[in-house]
Amino acid sequence: MNNLVRIATYNLRYANNKDIGNLWVDRSPVVINLIRFHEFDILATQEGLRSPLEEINSSLPYYDRFGIGRDDGKEAGEHCAIFYHKEKFKLLEGGNFWLSQTPEKPGFGWDARHNRICTWIKLQSLLQPLDKTMPFFVFNAHFDHYGEGARNAGSELLLRKLGELAAGAPCIVLGDFNSDPHTQAYKTLAGSQILTDACKLADHPYVNNPSFNSWGKDSPENRMIDHIFLTKEFKVKKFGILTDTYFSKTPSDHFPVMAEVGLNYEL
């Protein structure tokens, strides 16, 4: 499988001053080193605030970043920022929509408790001559943690937006869906005949833990809620949950979920 691309989704846990023992100032060097070591080509993040995202960019300048704050459509609030290796990909387009009945403006819908956003970009691979590949899309979503109705409706909205924006082009859809494989929101995406869970496409997925870890605690809330979905043009070589720790602590309350995929859609 040629031209492998390493993609990942990572809920960074927002910089919360109440997270005693897990403050961002202590975690940030570990998060940055984790990203550097695993050499992600495309990294979809959730919960990053402007300052921590800028810190990551400053430390890892070979990435460009796309995304806005969910609270005002500018810088306020959590972002679903997408980092991409600027020597490997060219940004062609990008945008955002909110997971609500009014996706064109900041807000939340149905039974959600917070503004929820999906950020998307259209990339051209620079790993091959431009006349040998076609562009692909990356969608990064963060579903509501509280509202089941909002998660279910968010899945339906996300599929509609794939049709409107990508119009049949290859797509990577990833993020924190706050939905495990037993939920309707997950089943809507994984059973859509458009997307397949990358975990199901890997011969030997490395999944020894759930993606949500409650800061390393053994909790009934620990579930596989972070996912990577792919359209049929992609093949998966590796898939895994990266359980990196430091001094027996986790860098976030989620583990990164990673896949190595082949861009098998040459023209």
Q: Is 210 helix (H, G, I), strand (E, B) or coil?
A: coil
Average pLDDT score over residue span 22-44 = 99
For residues 121-142, give the mean pLDDT.
90
Decide if pLDDT at 265 tops 60: no
Question: Would the pTM of this model clear 0.85, i.e. be above it?
Answer: yes
- Give yes or no for residue 252 having a pLDDT over 50: yes
In the chain the first and final C-alpha atoms are separated, in Å, by 16
pLDDT, position 60: 99
Buried b (16+ CB within 10 A) or exposed e, 121-133: bbbebebeeeeeb
- The domain locations on the chain are 4-263
Instruction: Using the predicted structure, report yes or no on whether residue 67 has a pLDDT greater than 70.
Output: yes
Q: How confident is the model at residue 148 (pLDDT cuts 50, 70, 90)?
A: very high
Q: What is the pLDDT of residue 128?
A: 79
pLDDT at residue 108, rounded to an integer: 95
Instruction: With a cut of 60, say whether residue 266 has pLDDT above it.
Output: no
Structure tokens that stand for 244 in this block:
């990196």
pLDDT at 22 over 60: yes
| Residue 160: per-residue pLDDT | 99
Per-residue pLDDT of 202-229, as tens digits, reads: 999 999 999 999 999 888 888 999 999 9
Question: What is the per-residue pLDDT for 261?
Answer: 97
Q: 20: burial class by Cβ within 10 Å (0-12, 13-18, 19+)?
A: exposed
| Arithmetic mean of pLDDT, 117-141 | 91
Convert the pLDDT of each residue in 82-98 to its tens digit. Answer: 999 999 999 999 999 99
Q: How far from the centroid of its chain's Cα atoms is residue 192's Cα? A: 19
- Region 27-45: what's the mean pLDDT? 99
Give residue 2's pLDDT. 55
Pairing of strands 136-142, 82-85: unpaired
Distance, in Å, from the CA atom of 110 to the CA atom of 119, rounded to the nearest integer, reads: 20
- Those residues whose C-beta lies under 8 Å from the C-beta of residue 221, and which sit 6 or more positions away, are 212, 214
Q: What residues contact 143, with CB distance under 8 A and at least 6 apart?
A: 99, 116, 150, 151, 154, 155, 175, 176, 177, 178, 179, 185
Query: Nearest Cα to 9, choosing from 265, 245, 240?
Result: 240
Q: Determine which helix (DSSP H) or strand (DSSP E) holds 156, and give its type and residue range.
A: helix 148-161
Query: Residue 1 — very low, low, confident or very high, per pLDDT cuts 50/70/90?
Result: very low
- Would you identify the CATH topology of the domain 4-263? Deoxyribonuclease I; Chain A (3.60.10)
79 contact partners, CB below 8 Å, separation of at least 6:
45, 47, 48, 49, 50, 53, 67, 68, 69, 70, 117, 119
Mean pLDDT for the chain overall: 96
Whether the Cβ atoms of residue 178 and residue 143 lie closer than 8 Å to each other:
yes
